[in-house]
Chains A and B, each alone.
Chain A
């Protein structure tokens, strides 16, 4: 295949992924509307006692994870009158998940196509368009992978809406034709650095969504029906958010405090230069350190921790969007003419 056809393939795959994500979103909306009148039982945090005190009566589920158990429990114990709706909801839920998996595959194809379209082949994050493609891919893929482990079914509409909106922004406003990387970006440290930064960004975004739902649910309280009633209890949300963040934090540490400085040292001669991009990466790191502390501090646990998680996500996205567009002093933004002969580039 020629570079040109790879580029074409990539563009078409992005389109296909967008359409399938959209269909998946519709499927989930149908699912939720079917389930709207169905009151999920066993959703409140009694599961531990219910499940564990009588191990003989309730054999462990396929994964043995309490979060999954809760999800199953919610589905099993619904009132009989709405059985038809329940069945329909279940069906569309599964369909939505299946469509999401397909869309993620197309999304991956789009990324691979982008990388193959450049000569020499390269990693697909040379500009904002590609970074957005990669970042949303991580969010969607992480959702697909963790779907069972962390019982994330309730997250589907959020993830899909987010990914769809980002993809649309990318295609409409950020699109750039495939181009070569300048030499400064041609370093394997950069590959490691950006892979980890994108991974962490994806994880923090998922974690932030969870924390946002936590806050909403904490405000509105337990509901009898509707979407929020399908969302796990506050404790479980807190737990899921913590698990996702505690994956993201070390990865972010690796990205901004290890590989970033190593590469910056190679390219610019100083491993830490208080460049705006670095400053904001540091701010993000400190805020998430604050989040982890908050979860262990009386009076800060729960609500305040969730707020901190959202602040962390805001700094993360500001760094990506704000600094790239508005800062002219950042070496990362390349907004100012650099004598080395540069191009607009995201890191």
Chain B
């Protein structure tokens, strides 16, 4: 945040997707002011989808053009990695907007703030995806989270919804405080919150400070002396401890948002209390943005060998988090009787799988490209999970939601389309070919195996075993829908919007399962254009980028 520079129009152009979404959000809120309460609000859903779609198209354009630039005084990286995550988030937001109208109408909740909150939250996620500075990431995180606290409690007449909102809020605010405290330590030690700046004054291992590097940076950036090691009066209190604390506090906040064990406890309660229409978005958008920010912070800011790889490096922390998340998420999901809670626990397991990809990719600079598996998984996860919650939103009326396995019993007879869609989503979540989920799991586990480390391979093996045990509860849903007789009448409320969303999710899930190359191609483009990557990673990326760019030149060249 040093130095004041002007914002150029070119920078503003790169922010166009975010601006479009913001303006759409404001427009929806303004329309709500002039809205007669009796009138249908379906158009607001479509307006949001159009806004998100336009932003998506522009993002796709920027991605295809290979945009790589800093924006807003180097607070944002406008690179392929961010744009790819944007695409996932925008997709999640658009699907959430499509799922909502019929659900909100049938539960008498129709008010326009819903779409405004979704849109603002999407903007927050996009800021996180592009964050180049711990503080930008933090602001994005809050911009994302606060609307979601409101959305969780959107079901005003429901005590459970209020409770879910309250729990999410308190724990989220608590995590925010931890995150801020971590940022404060980083700032104090390095004098900067910019990720690249932090990486220059790198920690060598969680326990100590790379004095030489820090001093060199301090000198080059105009500081007389490196700040950390007490300029006067000897070493600061517990300074040995500070860098480690900083990393851990930031790690805890990130882990809280992606919901890995033991920072996961809010997930089941919040997901089961919040309205079904929004849970899918909460589960996928937040996870996507949080994983994006996590990758960015740890890969750019804390990538240095000792901080990452030493016995006390963050990699081993992530390793164990991934492991226990996969195991605990799946095991506890098995004993759930509510489908919503089951999906919440399974989302913890999914966070574990994604973490496996992150761990595999950050093991060595050569493996960095494996981050594509993380992006791909997030895409498949978004399609499958938003779809699954969309199907849950299909059933229920006036505050009565279909949440348990019994509520879904025999649904297939009356609503074969919904049951088929749910089957596809469940198979995808379970990782059964030919669905997208299978390819997603395949790639993240491959990311771990390609390191060649025994521990990593063991991690992948645990992941495979855990996902096998997951098949049990996913199939239970399918079994309930097709083989059980309904205990009571099921009411389905679905509009064109919800059906559109489900068709998109189902087709996407199958398409990515059969032709994973499409999603993987975009993911790879995103990873290859990763700004702020440490030098040793950049060398590897350039090796891979060279043929791509040569190919691009060849395509563009006249015959």
Q: Indicate, yes or no, whether A interacts with B.
A: no
B-side residues, CB < 8 A to A, are none
